[in-house]
Amino acid sequence: MFEKVTAVFFDLDGTLVDSVPDLAAAVNVMLLQLGLPARDEAQVRTWVGNGMNNLIRRALANDMAGEVEPALFTRARPLYKAAYADHISVYSALYPGVQEGLVALAATGLPLACVTNKAAEFALPLLERLGIDHFFATVVGGECIPNPKPAPDALRLCAERLGIAVENGLMVGDSLNDVGAARNAGCPVVCVPYGYNHGQDIRDAQPDAVIESIADLPALLV
C-alpha cells in the first residue's frame, strides 16, 4: 500500500506535539481580558484541530458550534495571538516515540514535511523550540493556502515544494481533517489514535492504517 511513498507529510498538533496545555493557557488569558470565564483544558482539547479562528470562536461561545458576534471575535483574535505567542512552548511536549520515529525516517532519506492548520508564525517556533525543526524540508501553515485541511490545498502545496506528485506523499495525522485532506488529495493516510479528533475514534474515519506511535511508522515503509 505504501510502496509508492516518496515523502511523508506530518500534521503537527495532536500528532507530533501535545500543544493543548499552551493553547488552553492562551485561550484563558484572552477570556480573562474580555471579562469571560475560563475554560477547562479538557474542553479546549475537544475544540482543537480546525485552525486558530475556529478555536477562538469555540472558546468564546463555549461550544463546538462557535457562533459569536463578529465584533467580539474581532476583539478577541489579537488578544489570543498575543497570548499564544507567549505560550507557544511553555507546556507543550512531543508525544512518546516522535523523536525516535523522526530520526528513523530521516535515516531512510525520505523528505519529511509538516502540514498544519496552525499559522506558520506559531508552527515554526514551536518546532524549533521542541528541537525537531531540522527534520522538515518544508512547513506549510494554515495561512499559506486558501482552504485549510480537510481541503487538499496544503498537501498539494507541500508536494509542489518537495517536487513530488501529491499521490506519492503519505499523510500522517490524528483527525478527520487529516484523513479528509489525504482522501481529497488522492494520497494514503496513516493515523495515530491519540490527539485531537473531537472525542471520536479515528478508526471510524477509516485511514489506511493506525499506529500507536510515530516510532511505528518506519516499519510500514520498509
Residue 11 among the catalytic residues: yes
Per annotation, catalytic residue among 11, 22, 174, 178? 11
Q: Kindly state the helix (H) or strand (E) to which residue 210 belongs, with its residue range.
A: strand 209-210
Residues in the chain: 222
Using an 8 Å Cβ cutoff, are 114 and 140 in contact?
yes
> Tell me, what DSSP letter sits at residue 204?
G
What's phi and psi for 85, nearest 5 deg? -60, -30
Q: Which residues of 70-82 are buried (b: 16+ CB within 10 A; e: fewer)?
A: eeebeebbebbbe
CB atoms within 10 A of CB 58: 23
CA neighbor of 112 nearest in space, from 179, 12, 222 = 12
Cis-peptide, bond into residue 150, ω within 30° of zero = yes
Closest CA to 76 of 33, 121, 44: 33
Catalytic positions, please? Answer: 11
